[in-house]
Chain A
Amino acid sequence: MIRLERRPEPSRAWTLATPFVAVALTMVAGGLMFAMLGKDPVEAIRTIFWDPLFGDFASYSRPQLLVKAGPLILIAIGLSLGFRAGIWNIGAEGQYILGAIFAAATGLAIYPAESWIVFPAMIVAGALGGILWAMIPALLKVRFGTNEVLVSLMLVYVAEALLASMSLGLLRNPEGMGFPGSRNLAQYPSAANLDLIPGTGMHWGVALALIAVIVGQVVMTRHQLGFRVRLAGQSPRAAVFGGVNPGWLIVVCMGISGGLAGLAGMFEVAGPAGRLSIDFNVGYGFTAIIVAFLGRLNPIGILLAGLLMALTYIGGELAQLQMNLPLAAIQMFQGMLLFFLLAIDLMTNFSFRFGRRATA
């Protein structure tokens, strides 16, 4: 019989090894799944993990890596703060949409005047949109004790409806010949979020994501806010005894995660996506939850996890195109990654004992 025994202290080795073991197991299990689908597992895994970086089309897919990883990392950094405090903002997708709507509306209101102030104004508006949307579940939780998981999640669907209404109505491109969607902000020089170094995918949002990683790391290890966040997550009663106001912490954490999600939406709408449309959001807000956990809620880990996740997305698309793998199989593969991560995570706090019940 196998039993689990609680470790007196969390194992440092396992904390570091968990993501690597999880990735390795995902490759094995995913390979088995691909084999059962009649595909060559080695080729499938190579297509997902190797080809986007070094394959024939790498010159196209490499910049995509940063474009996709940027918003994931930015959102995940914000989410990880709340998750560590036991505050579960599941609605980053909605905050991301609201950030994009606010930013696009700001830019379009000034259009076509050119000014250096447009881009910064859109950044502020984007952050504000995300924060306001996150304040709804935050304040409802503080005031009425509602469950922030449900409220923030439900607000994603409200945000999607709002997005559709905006793309079809108020923000629709008057010169778009009746097609839904706004003007292309990427073609509006004052509002465009272009590559800082052409052809790399490195835009302002990616730069901010990297800054967020560094700030996040400093806050978690050296600042009182990070200490309070960890405390509240580990022992809520001790946190109150230590002087943490739980309501204040909820507002701060939801505000930061909403603001960063809104910023991600802003940089997306002004750059890679270019315009607001019905299908503007592609699930970054949800995927960022996986990224946050894959990175063990640690800023450096999130940086790596965001890059890895972006890789599986781009590689997954490549595998669909080149090997005719169904989308469901790719999603299964990504699901496995989270599954193995959470399963292996157990080893941090528990150790296996083999053999019969000898002790208790």
Chain B
Amino acid sequence: MTTPLLELSGLTKAYPGVVANSEVSFDIARGEVHALLGENGAGKSTLVKTIYGLVQPDAGHMRLDGKSFAPAEPRAARAAGVAMVFQHFSLFDAMSVAENVALGMENPPALNRLARQIREVSHSYGLPLDPDRIVGDLSAGERQRVEIVRCLLQEPRLLIMDEPTSVLTPQEVDILFETLRKLREEGVSILYISHKLEEIRTICDRATILRHGKVVGKCDPKTTAARDMAEQMVGATLATPSRSLGNTGEVVLELTGLSAPAPRAFGTALKDIDLTLRAGEVLGIGGVAGNGQDELAMALSGEMPVAQGMIRMKGREIGRDGVTARRCMGLLCAPEERMGHAAAPDMSLTENALLTAGPREDLVRHGFLRWGRAKSFAEKVIERFDVRTPGPGTAARALSGGNLQKFVIGREIMQRPEVLVVNQPTWGVDAAAAATIRQALLDLAEAGAAVIVISQDLDELMEISDRFAALNGGALSAPRPAEGLGIDEIGMMLGGAHDMTPAHGEG
């Protein structure tokens, strides 16, 4: 091996109050898939933004092809052959694939020529895409293809991928990995950011581990155990969530033919969902993003009331009841989006405690708020769930994602729910916080509550669920016992690869 493609040496970047990167040095060889590992807040994003020209380092330098490389802006990075697929897509729902791709290019060719290029490139890399389709109609996996194809059209030498598999089914992950292998064969280097360790062991050649902004380890993921890598990331030994499999009790929640139209454009309609939930069980609901997860959560929380007779709790009909009435019955919910849905960003934690805990914790009397009680309830949540914050007076938006998530989940658990519905409970949360949250959910079930966990993280679902079901196009598969469920069966339940045919081996 000659000079590496990209060398980073001594990169340091400080923000007021935190050092995001400190003396980070590693290199990426030509044609390798290099993993960048670390918890949330370990400095991965800052590092990647530095390479992509979004952030200028305070100290240190980079060399691309042995030549000094200091992109002042993403355009310069792209010109040098660096492309990036972001975790959050920047696509316009109402426009076609080709139009979306053109929007991200410096000098887009005529639309029909671009459409031909999209077709060629996407087929040759096994990610077939129809350039004329409207992005709003695409699945999450297909949207990611749009982003990837947009990058590939620039013929990059280094492709940065931030958490690329978080929105994919196992089958789609396989297709993506085929593509990455093909790119590697062509000499393209890939910087792969993820905290799914098994994936990294499958696809990556080398790994660099960050913690608190510093490189704390380098390893060959193919020969290192996932557990060892995780412990290097966290800097501590990890406890596996544990529970004594309790016996499930009587039926607490029944869904009968639950159907509802899509609440907004490009939303998903719920189709005829039947489900019986017993006290003490954890039901995992998997599925690719956008298959009705949000809608199901909203139908259960009461934000989207449904027709009479579709939802029963402990024998009582609650389909038309509002949020507060359901909360009083003991049906609590923690939505996926923390900022602006589960919590009001500009409000303090005390106020955010009032957001949902008013009726059950007696925080409101005769319409008047009982600030003292609200504050002490918020303090209890903060203490019990180890939320790192100066105090309950802090605005929610000042908390890190993981801390706010602990607060949001903790707020519901501390209200002693009989049924708890959580949507993506550990999304974007670091490994230690995720373990805390999972354990809390298991403890809750053990104490006799029924828990529904909606998640796209299959490993998480397999770890904590008693039964598993999948959402596909707004319909729910029949739940099956999670134990012994193979990855292929899960894939089938998720709806295969969503009619996305891999084109590998066709040329």
Return B334 CB to nearest CB of chain A, in Å.
Answer: 10
Q: When the two chains form their complex, are residues A223 and B369 in contact, meaning their CB atoms are under 8 A apart? A: yes
A359 partner, pick from B55, B354, B368, B395, beta carbons under 8 A: B55
A147 at the interface (CB under 8 A from B): no
B345 at the interface (CB under 8 A from A): yes
A237 at the interface (CB under 8 A from B): yes
Cα of A8 to Cα of B397 in the assembled complex, Å:
7
Most buried by B among A8, A231, A238: A238
Give residues of chain A (342-360) contacting chain B, Cβ–Cβ below 8 Å.
357-360
Cα of A8 to Cα of B324 in the assembled complex, Å:
31
A225 at the interface (CB under 8 A from B): yes
Cα of A245 to Cα of B325 in the assembled complex, Å:
12
Assuming the A-B contacts A234-B345, A235-B345, A358-B56, are A241 and B369 also in contact, with contact meaning beta carbons closer than 8 angstroms in the complex? no
Give residues of chain A (229-247) contacting chain B, Cβ–Cβ below 8 Å.
230-231, 234-235, 237-243, 245
Closest residue of A by beta carbon distance from B303: A240
Closest residue of A by beta carbon distance from B397: A8
Most buried by B among A9, A241, A358: A241
Assuming the A-B contacts A9-B398, A227-B351, A230-B347, are A237 and B356 also in contact, with contact meaning beta carbons closer than 8 angstroms in the complex? no
Cα of A9 to Cα of B397 in the assembled complex, Å:
8
List, in ascending order, chain A residues with CB within 8 A of B342's CB. 238, 241
**Per-residue contact bits, chain A 1-22, to B (CB 8 Å; 1 contact, 0 not):** 0000000111000000000000
Give how many A-B residue pairs fall within 8 Å (CB-CB).
79
What is the interface size of chain A, counting residues whose CB is below 8 A from a CB of the partner? 24
List, in ascending order, chain B residues with CB within 8 A of A8's CB. 395, 397-398
Cα of A359 to Cα of B17 in the assembled complex, Å:
14
Q: When the two chains form their complex, are residues A241 and B345 in contact, meaning their CB atoms are under 8 A apart? A: no
Cα of A9 to Cα of B396 in the assembled complex, Å:
9
Q: When the two chains form their complex, are residues A227 and B354 in contact, meaning their CB atoms are under 8 A apart? A: yes
List, in ascending order, chain B residues with CB within 8 A of A358's CB. 56
List, in ascending order, chain B residues with CB within 8 A of A357's CB. 56
A231 partner, pick from B55, B56, B355, B371, beta carbons under 8 A: B355
Cα of A140 to Cα of B301 in the assembled complex, Å:
27
A322 at the interface (CB under 8 A from B): no
**Per-residue contact bits, chain B 367-407, to A (CB 8 Å; 1 contact, 0 not):** 11101000000000000000000000011011000000000
Q: When the two chains form their complex, are residues A235 and B344 in contact, meaning their CB atoms are under 8 A apart? A: yes
Cα of A240 to Cα of B355 in the assembled complex, Å:
10
Assuming the A-B contacts A227-B369, A360-B54, are A237 and B346 also in contact, with contact meaning beta carbons closer than 8 angstroms in the complex? no
What is the interface size of chain B, counting residues whose CB is below 8 A from a CB of the partner? 37
Cα of A272 to Cα of B335 in the assembled complex, Å:
54
B200 at the interface (CB under 8 A from A): no
List, in ascending order, chain A residues with CB within 8 A of B278's CB. none
Cα of A234 to Cα of B343 in the assembled complex, Å:
10
A143 at the interface (CB under 8 A from B): no
Closest residue of A by beta carbon distance from B356: A242
Cα of A237 to Cα of B369 in the assembled complex, Å:
21
List, in ascending order, chain B residues with CB within 8 A of A245's CB. 322
Assuming the A-B contacts A241-B341, A243-B324, are A234 and B368 also in contact, with contact meaning beta carbons closer than 8 angstroms in the complex? no
Give residues of chain A (165-204) contacting chain B, Cβ–Cβ below 8 Å.
none
Q: When the two chains form their complex, are residues B369 and A238 in contact, meaning their CB atoms are under 8 A apart? A: no
List, in ascending order, chain A residues with CB within 8 A of B337's CB. 237
A324 at the interface (CB under 8 A from B): no
Q: Is the interface of B mostly helix, strand, loop or mixed?
A: mixed
Cα of A359 to Cα of B55 in the assembled complex, Å:
6
Q: When the two chains form their complex, are residues A241 and B56 in contact, meaning their CB atoms are under 8 A apart? A: no
Give residues of chain B (328-356) contacting chain A, Cβ–Cβ below 8 Å.
333, 335, 337, 340-347, 351, 354-356
Q: When the two chains form their complex, are residues B323 and A238 in contact, meaning their CB atoms are under 8 A apart? A: no
**Per-residue contact bits, chain B 280-312, to A (CB 8 Å; 1 contact, 0 not):** 000000000000000000000101000000000
Cα of A224 to Cα of B355 in the assembled complex, Å:
10
Cα of A222 to Cα of B372 in the assembled complex, Å:
11
B201 at the interface (CB under 8 A from A): no
Cα of A272 to Cα of B365 in the assembled complex, Å:
42
B30 at the interface (CB under 8 A from A): no
List, in ascending order, chain A residues with CB within 8 A of B335's CB. 241
Assuming the A-B contacts A235-B345, A243-B327, are A224 and B340 also in contact, with contact meaning beta carbons closer than 8 angstroms in the complex? no
List, in ascending order, chain B residues with CB within 8 A of A242's CB. 323, 355-356, 358
Return B86 CB to nearest CB of chain A, in Å.
Answer: 15
Return A34 CB to nearest CB of chain B, in Å.
Answer: 39
Cα of A242 to Cα of B355 in the assembled complex, Å:
5
Give residues of chain A (89-115) contacting chain B, Cβ–Cβ below 8 Å.
none
Q: When the two chains form their complex, are residues B367 and A241 in contact, meaning their CB atoms are under 8 A apart? A: no
Q: When the two chains form their complex, are residues A243 and B323 in contact, meaning their CB atoms are under 8 A apart? A: yes
List, in ascending order, chain A residues with CB within 8 A of B359's CB. 243
Assuming the A-B contacts A235-B341, A241-B303, A243-B322, are A10 and B346 also in contact, with contact meaning beta carbons closer than 8 angstroms in the complex? yes
Q: When the two chains form their complex, are residues A222 and B356 in contact, meaning their CB atoms are under 8 A apart? A: no
List, in ascending order, chain A residues with CB within 8 A of B341's CB. 235, 237-238, 241
B49 at the interface (CB under 8 A from A): yes
Return B415 CB to nearest CB of chain A, in Å.
Answer: 13
Q: When the two chains form their complex, are residues A222 and B343 in contact, meaning their CB atoms are under 8 A apart? A: no
Cα of A230 to Cα of B322 in the assembled complex, Å:
20
Assuming the A-B contacts A234-B345, A242-B323, are A223 and B367 also in contact, with contact meaning beta carbons closer than 8 angstroms in the complex? yes
Seen from chain B, the residues whose Cβ lies within 8 Å of a Cβ on chain A are: 15, 49, 54-56, 301, 303, 322-324, 327, 333, 335, 337, 340-347, 351, 354-356, 358-359, 364, 367-369, 371, 394-395, 397-398
Can you list 18 pairs linking A and B with CB atoms under 8 Å apart? A8-B395, A8-B397, A10-B346, A222-B368, A224-B364, A231-B355, A234-B344, A234-B345, A234-B346, A237-B337, A237-B340, A241-B341, A243-B322, A243-B323, A359-B55, A359-B56, A360-B49, A360-B54
In the complex, given contacts A9-B397, A235-B340, A238-B342, what are 10 additional A-B residue pairs having Cβ atoms less than 8 angstroms apart?
A8-B397, A9-B394, A223-B369, A224-B358, A240-B323, A241-B341, A242-B358, A357-B56, A359-B15, A360-B54
Seen from chain A, the residues whose Cβ lies within 8 Å of a Cβ on chain B are: 8-10, 222-225, 227, 230-231, 234-235, 237-243, 245, 357-360
**10 tightest A-B CB contacts, nearest first:** A243-B324, A243-B323, A242-B355, A235-B344, A235-B340, A238-B344, A237-B341, A8-B398, A9-B395, A224-B367
